[in-house]
Amino acid sequence: MELPYHFRDDSLAALALTHRSVGKPNNERMEFLGDALLGAIVAEMLYETHPKATEGEMSRLRAQLVNGQALASLARELELGDQLKLGSGELKSGGFRRDSILADAFEALVAAVYLDGGFAACRETVRTLFTDRVAALPRSSKDAKTRLQEWLQANGWPLPQYELVATEGEDHARIFDVNCVVAEPMAITAPGRGSSRRLAEQDAAEIALNRLLESREGA
């Protein structure tokens, strides 16, 4: 696969593919910029394609798309390994095959496209490279209550209870407050709010599920 971008200034592409083992200048600074640009452009793709996903869900999906292994695999498809400039030590030890070096070069290349062609060109390039990967993500078409229930069942834990805590406001603009309670050993009480009891329960289930997933990631 070829990079879907043609450089005006080839020296930017060359710098992006120059590993620090060569000395200075190298691609480390570009990697910082490219990582940030990639994060923003992929964030926007997820924002558009996953209109129901919460912040936490989008953040997890992005981590699936933009991690060292995933970027190294993209770098291999683009055959960046053959184009890398490495110091002799890294050359001998096969650095052009290493995930971290390939992923860094890919990120630097994203910055090089930005510096060469501007944001629109960079965004277009990244979107082209990630379209299939984004499309292959789970759509999580299931609602939050279903996902929470399935996750708890899969782990052999007790199912959640939903409690109406309060209602506020006039009849035509009522707000419902509920709690989603997951018993020991999870012992989580997550608040939800919405214009119907159903929406409030979905909201609470989503918060409960995010907390459970975060506590597992932290473990």
Whether the Cβ atoms of residue 76 and residue 102 lie closer than 8 Å to each other: yes
Establish whether 55 is an annotated binding residue. no
Sites of contact with a second copy (CB under 8 A) = 21-24, 28-29, 31-33, 35-37, 39-40, 42-44, 47, 53-55, 58-59, 87-88, 111, 114, 119-120, 123, 168, 175, 193-195, 199-200, 203
- The answer to whether 196 and 172 are in contact (CB under 8 A) is no
With respect to a second copy, which residue has the nearer C-beta, 71 or 152?
Answer: 71
Is 28 one of the annotated binding-site residues?
no
Query: Is beta strand 175-182 parallel, antiparallel or unpaired with respect to 188-194?
Result: antiparallel
Residues with a known catalytic role = 35, 107
Q: How far is the CB of 217 from a second copy (least distance, A)?
A: 17
The response to whether 107 counts as a known ligand-binding position is: yes
CB of 212 to a second copy, least distance (A): 18
Provide, rounded to whole angstroms, the least separation between the CB of residue 54 and a second copy: 6
Tell me the two tokens of residue 73: 């695999």
For the chain, how far is it from start to end, CA to CA, in angstroms?
39
Pull the structure tokens for residue 122: 């960079």
Compute the least distance from the CB of residue 160 to a second copy, in Å. Answer: 19
Nearer to a second copy, 22 or 70 (CB): 22
| Residues of the binding site | 31, 104, 107
| Residues of the binding site for Mg(2+) | 31, 104, 107
